[in-house]
A and B are shown apart, each in its own frame.
Chain A
Amino acid sequence: MHRCRKLQIAAAACALFLAACGGGGGGSLGGGPTPLPTGTNVAPLTVDSGPAGTVNTPFVSVTLCAPGTTDCRTIDHVLVDTGSSGLRIIASVISPALALPAVTDGSANPMSECMQFADGQSYGSMLIADVKIAEEVASALPVQLIGDPAFATIPADCAGLGPPENTVQTLGANGVLGIGIFREDCGPACVGSAVPGTYYSCPASGCVGAAMPLAQQAQNPVPHFAVNNNGSVVVLRTVDPAGAAVVAGALVFGIDTADNNRLTSGNVIHVNAATGAFPTLYRGQTLPASFMDSGSTGLYFNDSALTVCGGSIAPDFYCPASLQSLSATIQSVTGTSSNVSFNVANAETLLTNNVTFVAFSSLAGTTPIGGSFDWGLPFFYGRSVYVAIEGQNTSSGMGPYFAF
């Protein structure tokens, strides 16, 4: 039986087998924080196969409204991403379409954006929306509408980054909710002058690269909430070693702002303010460019002692003969460190054993360039991971930091 597993976010061929991928139901909700937090600052988080048959991808629902109105659409299966900032929605999933005003430059030209990924890019217009997640509201927030049919021509320096990922299938979700450590996606680098492959001004003659003020860039919604705005907590239950078809969790806004988001752990990992990176010590090596990323489907690091999968099911993932129990040390840039234990299972076995399973706590693979340990979604299972935003104060100090 053909197994449609999206280790990544994309693979058009899988679209044909979505029914098979969908699987559905049956899995235990697992252990971990019990009960899951509730409240007006909590949105239910779910790891399931999603709209594109993905694995290890956490989803939340987000509501967009025409600014100042009650004309709203709720979009399900938006990827919760601690590795980026800004809200992006695939245009076609907003149905019926919502009349959202354009973000414009000084000459009233609409603006567009090229969102960069390691494997390609997502292009679309910049629009203004009121954004509601749980009961928290960010008013008049600049967001990206990926695959906006009114902006179908992808600028050359954006297309030069790789293939467009402008559909639900190629993006792997109905949208991306970037709640990472940065307030904006591009940040100060895009303010002074145009950076190729980022923002564009779009007069009738076509889009040209343009500088973008901070306030008009795609925004992390969290700092724009009236309260609970210094960061967020990604809470996911544990997963059985063999995997699970669905995993429940919670996206909690605020850090130590309410009873349901207390930070009591001593594992506070301050990061490089420019890159969001921190060092990880693994097998005697320091990996300085490490990061914590709910948008990564696996743990990605290099270890020559682990067997890499040989077949076409999980290329560049690890396939050890037996479950490997490993550990690493995560270091704060302030000098404190935390030991983390993790498991690496045979990826091909995980992905083929039970066709309904899409959540795996021991899925790991190689990273193309050394020097980093990508603590992807397997790290998040059974934990509460805190993401403190740059320049926002918390009881454990000023962001940016991760804590767990």
Chain B
Amino acid sequence: MRNLAKSSAALVALLVIACAPRAAHAALGADAGSVDQDRAHFKAALRTQVLAAYTVHALDLPGGTVVREFIGASGVVFAVSWSGPFRPDLRQTLGVYFDRFRAATGQPGATHRRLQVAERDVVIASHGRLRAFEGLAYLPAAMPAGVTPAQLR
């Protein structure tokens, strides 16, 4: 059973990669090339940090917000986070998952200060207020082994 569970997770991860959009935007779920597309879209400076389990591509946006895009060994962007005085264009950074964010707005539990999406294939959290926003979106099935959401800052 244990092995079956593992291979199911791997299959989901493969499907995520296979289905990854190739559009001009969409970092989450896409390949490393989308980081460059986001960098160009945001007119951002790019800093790259290689860690054992994943690589962090940090985009410094002109307004002072930092967008971080996390890529594991599979080459897929498995998480995107943001922090700073302004929110980034989430249609750009969340790609196909932006519609999940849109659907959560106005649901019980969402407010102007917090929004949470916790679905099987994607988790999105957005929080904050004027001049202090932060957020995180990730694909549970594509997370490298041993990596927890709390590390993705």
Q: A-side interface residues toward B, CB under 8 Å?
A: 5, 7-12, 83-85, 116-120, 156-157, 159-163, 165, 170, 172, 178, 180, 182, 185-187, 189-190, 193, 195-198, 274-277, 289, 291, 293, 295-297, 300, 312-317, 365-372, 374, 376
Contact = CB atoms under 8 A, between A and B. Distances in A.
Contact of A369 (B64, B105, B125, B129): B125
Interface of B: 42, 61-64, 85-87, 89-92, 98, 101-102, 104-116, 125-136, 150
B131 A118 contact: no
Given A159-B91, A162-B90, A118 B113 contact: yes
25 contacts: A5-B108, A7-B109, A10-B106, A11-B106, A116-B87, A117-B112, A118-B128, A119-B106, A160-B90, A162-B126, A163-B105, A163-B106, A187-B131, A196-B63, A289-B132, A293-B113, A295-B113, A297-B111, A312-B108, A314-B109, A315-B108, A316-B116, A367-B127, A368-B127, A370-B150
B28 to A, nearest CB: 14
Given A120-B105, A189-B64, A368 B116 contact: yes
Given A7-B111, A119-B115, A189-B64, A291 B129 contact: yes
Contacts of A275: 85, 131-132
Q: Which of A162, A198, A289 has the most CB of B within 10 A?
A: A162
Chain A interface mostly helix, strand, loop or mixed? loop
B63 A195 contact: yes
Q: Which of A117, A163, A300, A370 has the most CB of B within 10 A?
A: A117
Contacts of A312: 108
A160 B129 contact: no
B105 A119 contact: yes
B112 A165 contact: yes
Which 4 A-B residue pairings sit nearest by Cβ, starting from the closest? A368-B125, A160-B89, A8-B111, A315-B109
A118 B63 contact: no
Contacts of A85: 130
Nearest to B25: A160
Given A8-B107, A196-B61, 11 more contacts: A8-B112, A9-B111, A83-B130, A119-B105, A119-B106, A119-B114, A160-B92, A162-B101, A314-B109, A315-B107, A368-B126
A317 B42 CA distance: 35
Contacts of B128: 118
Nearest to B43: A196
Contacts of A317: 109
Contacts of B111: 7-9, 118-119, 296-297
Nearest to A11: B106
Nearest to B111: A8
A300 B113 contact: yes
Contacts of A170: 106
B87 to A, nearest CB: 5
Given A118-B113, A118-B127, A162-B105, A369 B135 contact: yes
Nearest to B135: A369
Contacts of B134: 289, 369, 371
Contacts of A193: 62
A366 B113 CA distance: 12
B100 to A, nearest CB: 11
Given A189-B63, A195-B63, A369-B125, A163 B133 contact: no
